[in-house]
Amino acid sequence: FREVILVADADPHDAGQRGAEKLQATLRVPSVLIMPPCKDARELLKRAGPDAAGILQSIVRSQVWCNPK
């Protein structure tokens, strides 16, 4: 992969975000961690339908990418 987009679940106690952050720390390519405006990516697809891709692209563009260490 040349770059990775991680989509964290909005779990209680931020478990999904913490797990995604741990994974992101191991990556050797630029990456970005996002959280959709609902529980998870599956729910976003269910709610937004064909607009989900545009929503995710907008979220990704607004984030700061991390470079590997």
Look up the pTM and report it.
0.83
pLDDT exceeds cutoff 90 at 3: yes
Q: Residue 61: what residue type?
A: R
Q: pLDDT higher for 1 or 41? A: 41
Q: What pLDDT was estimated at residue 63?
A: 94
SS3 of 32, please?
strand
Query: In angstroms, what CA-CA distances link 59 with 43, 45, 62, 69?
Result: 16, 14, 5, 24
Q: How many CB atoms lie within 10 A of CB 66?
A: 17
| Cα angle for residues 22, 25, 29 (degrees, 5° grid) | 135
